[in-house]
Amino acid sequence: RLFLYFCHPQTRCSQQLHSDMDRGDGSIKYILSGEGAGTTFTIDDGTGDIHAIQRLDREVKAQYLLRAQARNRLTDQPLEPESQFVVKIQDINDNEPKFPDGPYHASVPEMSHIGTSVIQLTATDADDPTYGSSARVVYSILEGQPYFSVDAKTGVVRVSLADMDRETRENYTVVIQAKDMGGQLGGLAGTTSVNIRLGDVNDNPPTFDQRLYQMSIPEAAPVGSVVGRIWAKDRDVGVNAEMEYSIIDGDGRDTFDISTDPTNLFGIITVKRPLNFESKPSYTLKVEGANTHLDPAFRHRVPFKDMTIVHVSVEDVDEPPLFDAPAYYVELAEDAEIGTVVRTVTARDPDAANNTVRYSIEKSSDPDKFFYLEITSGSLMTVRSLDREEVGWHNITILAMEMNNPTQISSASVAVRVLDVNDNPPSLTHYLEAYVCESAKAGQLIQTVTAVDPDQPLGGQHFSYRLAPEAANNPNFTLRDNQDNTAWILTRRGGWSQQDQTVFYLPVVISDGEQPVQTSTSTLTVRVCSCDREGNVMSCDAEAHSLPASLSRGALIAILACIFVLLGESR
Ligand SMILES: *[C@@H]1O[C@H](CO)[C@@H](O)[C@H](O)[C@H]1NC(C)=O
Ligand SMILES: *[C@@H]1O[C@H](CO)[C@@H](O)[C@H](O)[C@H]1NC(C)=O
C-alpha cells in the first residue's frame, strides 16, 4: 500500500510517498505521473519525497490529480497497482476584496428620508469562500459621513442625514471600503468611490425677479407684438422650474396676452387688441406665475406660485388724420346745379398735437374733374354738370394730410351715385318701318311699335302713344295704344295700290310717364307693297334704302329680283 503525507503549499516542503513493501534497501523506485508531475511536483524516486518545484496558487489551480506507483528498481516490475490521489491546494488569504464595477455613480432625490437606499455595492474576493474567513467581506464607509452610510453586510449605501438639499449641495463623493477576514485586524481591504448626485424635487417656490415690471410699446404695434418678458425664478431645475403664466387682474386684461416661451421659463406679454395712445396711454396687469409640476409631498409647505405687477405704457406715434368714416356713399340727382355741396367730410389728427388737416381729391380717381374738395372745410362739390346717362357712378378717392407734415396722409373713398332725372324724351325704336300689303283690308294690324328712352325711372317706363294732331283724323291709318309700352298701327281702309302712293309718313307722338313729362314725335314710314296670298311681301317701292325690319325671306328675294331688273335696264 502507498501512503501519502501532505505538505503546506507555501513551504518547499517535502512530503513523502511510502510503500509498506519498502524495506529501505533502495530496491523500490517511486514513479509520479498525472497533472503537474515533473513540472509542478517532482518525486525523489528513492525516498518517495514529493517536492513542489513551482509556486502554487489556489486561485489559479485549486487541485491536482496525480498517480503514483512503486516499482522494482531492477526489474521495473510494478510492485502494486497504480494509486490515484488528489493534491488539494490549501487557501491562504492572499487576495484583497475588489469592486469590479467601481467607481460607481448613483443618484437619490434630495429630501429623501433617512435609510433610503442609494445603491448596492458588491466586492468580490478571490480567496476560498468555503475555507476560513479569507473571503468574508465587511463594508465600511471611509468618506461621505454623515450624509451616507453603508450596510456592513450587504454593501447597501443609504441616506443617513435628513433633508439633504440639492439647492445647497448637489454632489457627494463617498468612499467605501471592503475588508475580508470579517473585517478583523490583518484582513485585506479594497476601496471604491461612489459619486452620488442629489436629484431635484420641487421643494422651492417660484419668485418673480421683480415686484414691478415697467414696459412700453408703441401704439402702432400690431396685434401679436411682444411687449416684454417676465421671469419667476425657481431654484429648482428641469420640470420643477417650469412655469405657466396668466394675467389674473388689471385694466389690461383684455388688451394683452401672456404665454410661456419655448423653454417654459419666461412669460411673454403680447398685444391682444389694437392700442391707442390717445384713448388709453397706460395699463396695469396683475400676473401670476405658477409651477406646472407640483410635488404633492411639498404641497403643504411650498406655495407653487408668485404674483407680480406689470405696468405697460403706450407710446404715442405720429398717426395720419382719420376720416369720420372709412368710406362715404352719396346720391346726387343728375340735374344738380354746379357748385352743389355733395357732402362735407371731416378728418382729424388723432395725435395729441391735433394738427390742422388739408383735403384734396386724388387726381386719377376723378380724371374728368367733376368734383372739387374744399381744401380747409372738406366740402365736396360739383364743378361740372353731371349726366347719369353718361357716367352713373363717380367713385373718387379723397385725401387728408396734416398741414405741417405731408407724409401723414390718409385716404377714404366716396362713391357718388348719380340719380336719374327725366331729361330725355322717348322715341320710336330706331329703324322702325312698316309696310302695308296692297291686298290689306280695313282694320288690319300692320305694325307693332315700341319706344326707347335713355332715362331709367325707378318704377320702369310707361310710354303712351298717339298720332300727332295733324294726323289725328287720318283716313288711312289709326293707332291703338296697348297700355303696355307698345302700340298697334292698323289700316283704316282697303284698296291700297303702289300706283296711287308708294309711301305714307305717319307722325307718332310718344310721351313717358315721369315728371316732367318728356314727349317727342317720331315719324313712322309705311310702304305700300305687293304681297302673295299668305301676306308675304313680294315687292315694294324700289327706292327704299332701308329694309323693313319684319321682311320675310320671300320679300328679300323679291327685292333682289327688282334690283337685277333695274341693273339690266340701265345697261
Ligand atoms: C362705384 O362704387 C359702387 C359702390 O361701391 C359700385 O357699386 C360701383 O360698381 C362702382 N363703380 C365703378 C365705376 O367703379
Ligand atoms: C290718305 O290716302 C289718300 C290716297 O292715297 C291720300 O290722297 C291722302 O293724302 C291720305 N291722307 C293722309 C292724311 O295721308
The domain that contains 329 carries what CATH number?
2.60.40.60
> Could you say which ligand is closest to the alpha carbon of residue 497?
2
pLDDT of 198 strictly over 80 = yes
Residue 563 pLDDT exceeds 70: no
Considering 147, 172, 199, which residue would you say is the last residue of a domain?
Answer: 199
State pLDDT tens for residues 397-409. Answer: 999 999 988 889 9
* Better pLDDT: 176 or 12: 176
Structural domain containing residue 111: 104-199
Q: What is the amino acid identity at position 89?
A: I
User: Are the C-beta atoms of residues 537 and 561 closer than 8 Å to each other?
Assistant: no
Residue 43 DSSP SS3: strand
Residue 96 lies in a domain: no
- Among 38-52, 101-115, 497-511, 551-565, the range scoring the smallest mean pLDDT is 551-565
Residues 195 and 213 placed together within one structural domain of the fold: no
The helix (run of H) or strand (run of E) holding residue 566 is helix 553-570
Q: What is the pLDDT of residues 475-509, one digit of tens each?
A: 999 999 999 999 999 999 999 998 889 999 999 99
Higher pLDDT residue, 144 or 433? 144
- Ligand 2 centre and the CA of 504: distance in Å? 8
| Ligand 1 site, CB within 6 A | 393, 395, 415
Where among 315, 330, 363 does a domain terminate?
315
Q: Are 187 and 126 contained in the same domain?
A: yes
Q: What is the structure's pLDDT at 28?
A: 87
DSSP assignments along 253-283, one per residue: TTTEEEEE-TTSSEEEEEE-S---TTT--EE
Categorize the per-residue pLDDT at 6 as very low, low, confident or very high, splitting at 50, 70 and 90: low
In a domain, 14, yes or no: yes
Q: Which ligand is nearest to the CA of 505?
A: 2
Q: Which residue puts its alpha carbon closest to atom 14 of ligand 1? A: 395
Overall size of the chain counted in residues: 571
Could you give the CA distance from residue 430 to residue 522 in angstroms, rounded to a whole number?
Answer: 10
Q: Say which amino acid occupies 140.
A: S
d(CA 296, ligand 2 centre) in Å: 118
Per residue in 224-242, pLDDT (tens digit) is: 999 999 999 999 999 999 9
Residue 187 is placed in which grid cell? 484582513
Last residue of a domain, one of 29, 55, 88: 88
- Output the pLDDT for position 542: 52
Please report which confidence band the pLDDT of residue 450 belongs to, taking 50, 70 and 90 as the band edges: very high
- Is residue 99 domain-resident? no
Q: In terms of domains, do 433 and 556 share one?
A: yes
Assigned domain for 73 exists: yes
The predicted pLDDT at position 17 comes to 77
| CA 117 / ligand 1 centre spacing (Å) | 84
- 98 domain-assigned: no
Task: Evaluate whether residue 95 is within a structural domain.
Answer: no
> What single DSSP character describes residue 495?
-
pLDDT at res. 93: 76
In terms of domains, do 438 and 565 share one?
yes
Q: Which residues pair with 521 in a beta bridge?
A: 509
* Claim to verify: residue 550 and residue 432 sit in the same structural domain: yes
Tell me which residue of 130, 131, 139, 125 sits closest to 183, measured CA to CA.
Answer: 139
Residue nearest atom 9 in ligand 1 by C-alpha distance: 393
Q: How far is CA 556 from the centre of its chain?
A: 74
Our count of domains for the chain comes to 5
Order of strands across the sheet with 148-150?
Answer: 117-120, 156-159, 148-150
Counting ligands in written order, the one closest to the CA of 436 is 2
pLDDT of 561 over the 70 cut: no
Number of H helices, E strands in the chain: 1, 40
CA of 392 to the centre of ligand 1 (A): 9
Q: Whose CA is nearest to atom 11 of ligand 1?
A: 393
Q: Are 29 and 70 in a shared domain?
A: yes
Would you place residue 11 in the very low, low, confident or very high pLDDT band (cuts 50, 70, 90)? Answer: very low
Q: pLDDT tens across 271-297, in order?
A: 999 999 989 999 999 999 999 988 887
One domain, residues 242 and 151: no
Q: Indicate if 552 and 500 belong to the same structural domain.
A: yes
pTM greater than 0.85: no
Residue 570 vs residue 556, higher pLDDT = 556
Q: What percent of the chain is predicted at pLDDT more than 90?
A: 57
Are residues 15 and 64 in contact, defined by beta-carbon separation less than 8 angstroms? no
Q: Is any ligand 2 atom within 6 A of the Cβ of residue 475?
A: yes
Q: Which ligand is nearest to the CA of 501?
A: 2
Q: Kindly report which listed range (58-62, 106-110, 141-145, 403-407) carries the lowest average pLDDT score.
A: 58-62
Please check whether residues 413 and 433 belong to one and the same domain.
no
Residues 351 and 481 placed together within one structural domain of the fold: no
3-state secondary structure of 176: strand
- Please check whether residues 363 and 432 belong to one and the same domain: no
Q: Is residue 401 part of a domain?
A: yes
Residue 479 CA to ligand 2 centre (angstroms):
16
Residue 97 falls inside a structural domain: no
Is residue 555 predicted with pLDDT exceeding 60? no
Q: How far apart are the first and last CA of the chain?
A: 173
Residue 534 has pLDDT above 70, yes or no: yes
Considering the domain architecture, whether residues 299 and 337 belong to the same structural domain is answered as no
Measure 494 CA to ligand 2 centroid, in angstroms.
12
Q: Are the beta carbons of 83 and 67 closer than 8 angstroms?
A: yes
Residue among 438, 473, 476, 506 whose CB has most ligand 2 atoms within 8 A, to mutate: 476
Query: What's the 476 CA to ligand 2 centre distance in angstroms?
Result: 6
Residue 549 has pLDDT above 50, yes or no: no
The distance of Cα 407 from the centroid of its chain, to the nearest Å, equals 36
CA of 546 to the centre of ligand 2 (A): 23
Closest C-alpha to ligand 2, atom 10:
476
- pLDDT value at position 452? 92
